[in-house]
Structure 1
């Protein structure tokens, strides 16, 4: 194994892993388990989904430490903490765990992803020119990003020393464990930072998002090979578990332009027994018929605009608010798992790592391997289960233009 990457959710793991897979490097994506052995892995790149996005900081720290410590001791040369390009998750706790587990004094962190207009200037992180805490990510109903200054955001969870590094500069000598946060506002600056880290032999412990992962093989001089894209089913099923306003706009636009949109009821989303009962089984038969007869379908867990019926249902049935983002992916996983087991012949797009993981867990022995990118931020993976083989696109809820779904449908549903 040449490189170990650790992400905090499944979508992030695939975003990072595909940067290597599309260049011909054997890449495996796994969900963390306590009995994981790095000696048993023969892939060039192993990407571990630590599932820490929604954990408390201490729990996230301990999980990352437990992953990285044995990897460092076994001699893995390159360790990469994949972070969210909108700075969601336990950034400070997890970067500190990387330092503590390796015993190194410096971790180099490049939060920016200039290709999708997410940049860091004077230590402040921007989404399309807006400080991240004032963007859509600052109004997330479950886990808003509350700080755009990266140093301050890190220090919300730890006391680790932080240096903010301006473009073209390098960190001062480290007398204590340090996270070096790099300003980066362009692809050229990103490449310059990576080249500088190579020259100073500092690529062994790094953090950043998919933009940094994409250029890493070339910076390291790894020989790449050509890959081919598989032929896809010419039906398109969008599986949405994201409440991000960007995704909601995409769903609304798609519905107005030919997609059939199915919105789950609060009971279907939150009653864990629903799909094992008679009404739920009949609904699954009905949904199978919808998918079989239509080329462009959306299944959506958002409430109708201006309504909070899911939260009201949760209150009425004694379901804690913290359980809502856990139950919804599980219900989606049940539905999509059932469709896959029946032999679903559609190309699927899943929004949000929780949505995808819910499906994988429902399928039991399923394996997911990244194979390429539809475009930046949209990963194509091969999904193999006991009953079926299919392909799945994944994207973050906060990614893409309003026309994304219809643009994808135009390319996928060629004969529809």
Structure 2
């Protein structure tokens, strides 16, 4: 079985494959669109088009959907809080893949993200009314999935569950499914996984349901445990959750930290300069040997760090927390473990758990 995942962000590309990797699937996470044809023997492949915060030349989402149009399962993965160009990417991927139907399931219930009456909620609050609506770089201004897609010219109808979604897809081209619990996603996967005329679109919650439900392949050799002695915590996200998590980690442990300040404002040259300086500091630490592992929160920050290293390949190992993957980063200068976390994910102790997972301080 070939499962292909198109996403717009580095952390998504990693957490979308981690749930498969830890169940014995052979996985790959790609950073360059031109590599999509070099992984035909790999069961689960994710591509980061790097378009959530950047304007790319051409349409890498459409290019990937076209290249992977014959996949057994094709998924357009997007942020569970609707950050980015969700509707545009879904419409583009559907058209390029040649698949007639689109089933949208944004929910990630174990992370507090649900879908009710077609609206995305975070801990029960419409996402545009949460901190994501005030995001300094990509504010979410709309919680209604049908409204987002109508603005792109595609009507979307709402299904209350998987059974109704199946009925509605017989008459409509695009359906969004209400989801309040993991069981709802499991039911969706049970009905639709492997439907070759269907583009699935959703967050990491949908991919975790796919990994739970699909038949496991022959087990691959168990990966060696990853650990390190001197990890650095790199905080590039300005999400309030990340800042609380940083404070908890600082109060609980003596840790090495690099973090952008609150002066990283959207559209300002200072923002780019601050991020570039942060990435330079991290790469210098790695090159000097002062850092043998990373915990990074902020997808753009993590991607910039990896892009700055020579000849990188990635091996996804497992999830530390739901949607928080552990990865081995391999470059021409050596390898090191890295944990990536989207800015708004996790409880207040999430970064502390990640650091302890690398050092073995706490299981």
TM-score by length of 2: 0.90
Report the equivalent of 1:273: none
CA distance in 2, matches of 1:235, 1:187: 36
The counterpart of 2:258, out of the listed 290, 299, 315, is: 299
Report the equivalent of 2:284: 338
The counterpart of 1:348, out of the listed 285, 291, 294, is: 294
5 Å-filtered alignment, 1:259-274, equals 259=254
Q: What is the CA distance between 1:138 and its match in structure 2?
A: 0.7
Contact 2:149 2:155 in 1 (8 A): no
CA distance in 1, matches of 2:339, 2:105: 26
| 5+ residue gaps, structure 1 | 260-295, 312-319
Q: What is the CA distance between 1:131 and its match in structure 2?
A: 0.7
- Aligned-partner SS, 1:213: helix
> Is residue 13 of structure 1 aligned with residue 8 of structure 2?
no
Q: What is the CA distance between 1:225 and its match in structure 2?
A: 3.1
Q: What is the CA distance between 1:404 and its match in structure 2?
A: 2.3
CA distance in 1, matches of 2:269, 2:5: 29
Q: What is the CA distance between 1:329 and its match in structure 2?
A: 3.6
Report the equivalent of 1:53: 52
The counterpart of 1:388, out of the listed 303, 323, 334, is: 334
CA distance in 1, matches of 2:239, 2:27: 29
Query: What CA RMSD, in Å, does the superposition of the two structures yield over aligned residues?
Result: 2.5
Q: What is the CA distance between 1:331 and its match in structure 2?
A: 2.6
> Is residue 368 of structure 1 aligned with residue 363 of structure 2?
no
CA distance in 2, matches of 1:323, 1:174: 50
Report the equivalent of 2:157: 163
**Residues 1:344 and 1:9: Cα distance change in structure 2 (over 3 Å):** same
The superposition leaves residues 297-348 of structure 1 with CA deviations (integer Å, 9 ceiling, x where unpaired) of: 1111123xxxx4x55xxxxxxxx92555544443322222222222245331
Contact 1:125 1:131 in 2 (8 A): yes
> Is residue 253 of structure 1 aligned with residue 248 of structure 2?
yes
The superposition leaves residues 205-244 of structure 1 with CA deviations (integer Å, 9 ceiling, x where unpaired) of: 2111112112214433233637456140133310111100
- Aligned-partner SS, 2:81: coil
Q: What is the CA distance between 1:413 and its match in structure 2?
A: 4.0
Report the equivalent of 1:400: 346
Contact 2:6 2:75 in 1 (8 A): yes
Contact 2:283 2:308 in 1 (8 A): yes
- Aligned-partner SS, 1:38: helix
Report the equivalent of 1:222: 216
Q: Which moved more, 1:39-48 or 1:14-23?
A: 39-48
Contact 1:337 1:359 in 2 (8 A): yes
CA distance in 1, matches of 2:138, 2:60: 19
Report the equivalent of 1:136: 131
> Is residue 66 of structure 1 aligned with residue 66 of structure 2?
no
The superposition leaves residues 369-410 of structure 1 with CA deviations (integer Å, 9 ceiling, x where unpaired) of: 211111212210001111121100000010121122334445
The counterpart of 2:207, out of the listed 204, 213, 226, is: 213
CA distance in 1, matches of 2:113, 2:325: 19
CA distance in 1, matches of 2:63, 2:175: 23
| 5+ residue gaps, structure 2 | none
Q: What is the CA distance between 1:104 and its match in structure 2?
A: 2.2
The superposition leaves residues 158-206 of structure 1 with CA deviations (integer Å, 9 ceiling, x where unpaired) of: 1012111112412425566x2211100001111111112249x368521
Number of equivalences: 359
Q: What is the CA distance between 1:130 and its match in structure 2?
A: 0.9
Contact 1:343 1:388 in 2 (8 A): no
Q: What is the CA distance between 1:28 and its match in structure 2?
A: 1.0
TM-score by length of 1: 0.79
CA distance in 2, matches of 1:49, 1:414: 30
> Is residue 196 of structure 1 aligned with residue 155 of structure 2?
no
Q: What is the CA distance between 1:23 and its match in structure 2?
A: 1.2
Report the equivalent of 2:31: 31
CA distance in 1, matches of 2:57, 2:169: 29
Q: Which moved more, 1:181-190 or 1:249-258?
A: 249-258
Q: Which moved more, 1:86-95 or 1:203-212?
A: 203-212
CA distance in 2, matches of 1:143, 1:137: 8
Q: Which moved more, 1:244-253 or 1:37-46?
A: 37-46
